[in-house]
Each structure stands twice: as structure tokens, then as C-alpha cells.
Structure 1
């Protein structure tokens, strides 16, 4: 999935920025710091998830059934 597909509309970004600033008592610097901490947390989660996925599965070496209903029969 590309980053461009997940980019919110400009109006959504403005609203999200306003919400972050309001949540930090109107202090934009505190809002940026809070967002940096949240981003670091999310990056750590991504690394944990990457480590938990097997290399063979991520490279497509395992044949995963598309229709799981048939798989359980």
C-alpha cells in the first residue's frame, strides 16, 4: 500500500492539526512533541509486527487459500 493512497484530504489534515493543538492546550510545540512520541510508538509497533511475520509468508512462498470456507472443509 502506498503512502499516497493513505494521504488524507487537506481539510482533514487541517482539522486533525487543530484537534492536536487543542488537545495540548493550544500549544503547537507541545502538540508536535506529542505527535513525535506517538509516531515513535507506531514505528516500534511496525517493527515488532515485521519481526513476527515469517520471511516465507512475506515473500509469498506459502500458498494461502483465498477462500477460507473451502480451506476448512
Structure 2
């Protein structure tokens, strides 16, 4: 596996910060315990969950109108009553 060469922090371009995930050791222990203490089963369950979420996201992307994706409201929403 190839990795990118490391750059000093001052050389890195201004990139948005990755979202902070607040996952504790207790959360990890709970996931493993939910799989009867089997870490491989816990990883398998998490990967299956991730695939499910990716499939749901892809389906939502297909359902979203092209205008909505581009940031243009539908012509039908201009005449819709507010509230």
C-alpha cells in the first residue's frame, strides 16, 4: 500500500477539519460485548452496517432531483405556501 509523503503542518493546504467522532473505549467494549466478546464478529457487524449505510446513501442520491443536487430549487417550490 502506498502512502502519501508526510508534509509539515505549515506546508499543508487549508483543508476543512475532519469531523470529530467521540468514540470511547467503553463504546468499543460495548460493540465487542454485543457480539459475545468476539472482536472479528464485531468488525464484521460494523462493516455490514457500513455497507448498509452506503447503499442507503446511494439510493438517496439517486432519488434526489438533479436541480436539488446542484442547489437550484424546484420551480414547484416557488408557488408553494410557506409554513
Q: TM-score, normalised by structure 1?
A: 0.71
* Long gaps (5+) in structure 2: 1-15
- What is the correspondence of 1:1-73 to structure 2 with a 5 Å cutoff? 4-5=18-19, 7-9=20-22, 12-62=23-73, 71-72=82-83
- The structure carrying a bigger helix percent of its residues is 1
Higher relative contact order (CA 8 A, sep 6+): 1
Q: 1:21 to 1:3 in 2, by over 3 A?
A: farther
Alignment length (residue pairs): 64
Which 4+ runs in 1 deviate beyond 6 A? none
Q: Could you say which structure has the larger radius of gyration? A: 2
